[in-house]
């Protein structure tokens, strides 16, 4: 099992930036796929951004051009740089990994965008 711990959430004004971090309890060098999801008022979690072991990324249309996912294998950490934040980005953001049959979720970090 791999434990994931998110950090970096908080309150920011519209147009501002935040960087979320997801620290893994062991090496992520060979982890196939890591991602950030978010959950707003509704029941479903939305895929925000994902990154493969080879560095390929994909993004939800709503965040393209504003958010950037990256991974630092030496630090066992995945990041989500969020720029030009909007009120609609308010949510709890979760880190998630998949590697074969291995699945893991973090506990989430709250992001609030408000003036």
- Check: CB of residue 23 under 8 Å from CB of residue 77: yes
pLDDT in tens, 7-31: 999 999 999 999 999 999 999 999 9
Q: Could you tell me the CA-to-CA distances from 65 to 10, 79, 83, 85, 107 in Å, in that order?
A: 21, 16, 9, 11, 26
Res 43 pLDDT > 90: no
Backbone φ and ψ of 38, nearest 5°: -140, 150
Give the whole-angstrom CA distance, residue 114 versus residue 1: 37
Backbone φ and ψ of 9, nearest 5°: -70, 175
Tell me, what's the pLDDT at 34?
A: 97
Nearest to 36 by CA among 1, 74, 66, 75: 66
């Amino acid at each position: 099992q791999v434990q994931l711990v998110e950090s970096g959430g908080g309150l920011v004004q519209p147009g501002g930036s935040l960087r979320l971090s997801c620290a893994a309890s062991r090496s992520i060098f060979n982890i196939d796929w890591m991602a950030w999801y978010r959950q707003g008022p509704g029941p479903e979690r939305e895929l925000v951004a994902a990154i493969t072991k080879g560095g390929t990324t994909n993004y939800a249309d709503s965040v393209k051009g504003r958010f950037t996912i990256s991974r630092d294998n030496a630090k066992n950490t995945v990041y989500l740089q969020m720029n030009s934040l909007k009120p609609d980005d308010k949510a709890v953001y979760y880190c998630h990994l998949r590697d074969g049959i291995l699945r893991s979720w973090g506990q989430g970090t709250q992001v609030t965008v408000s003036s």
